[in-house]
Amino acid sequence: MAGATFRGVPASYVRAHFVRARDRSGDWMVRGSSGRGRRAASLGALTTALWLCVGGLFAGPPVQAASGGCAGRLARTVAFGEGELRVYKSRNQACAVTVARTSGERRRMAVSIQPRGGAPVRDAGRFTRYAGPVTVGAISRCVYVKGGVGAGSADSGWILC
């Protein structure tokens, strides 16, 4: 067996550096001292990380972008001619956004939210899509919400009581 090789590797090198063992089918296999299992696990972890990165590139927009930046669940929507006023409620706060029916050119938009017994919080200016978000602490408190786009406006009255 002076010239014997195992997959192109001299037998003396294989005997000195590798461990021979039988796999489940009974065939002989060669495992390196560094461990094929560790390399396979590292390769699997790398592949998983790459898939997660690539998946992040094709993911949809975050939920906060869909709600205009407000956290919580949509509690009330008040529609008016030029847009709508959306009110969101989470465990300890209320949030409001005025959304224009069509985006495009800048126009005057405003939103305000006032907790009962508190001062209103406002956002007004010339925006293309939405005004806000404006947030107030509203644990067990009613809120009054107003919003407007261009000449149209709406208010909610006292809600979330």
pLDDT in tens, 21-49: 666 776 666 555 555 555 555 556 656 66
pTM score of the predicted model: 0.58
pLDDT in tens, 49-78: 666 655 555 554 443 444 568 889 999 999
Position 29 scores a pLDDT of: 61
What span, in angstroms and rounded, lies between the C-alpha atoms of 100 and 85? Answer: 9
What span, in angstroms and rounded, lies between the C-alpha atoms of 51 and 141? Answer: 46
Higher pLDDT, 68 or 126: 126
96: nearest Cα among 116, 117, 71 = 71
pLDDT in tens, 151-161: 999 999 999 88
pLDDT in tens, 81-123: 889 999 999 989 999 999 999 988 999 999 999 999 999 999 9
| DSSP label of 68 | T
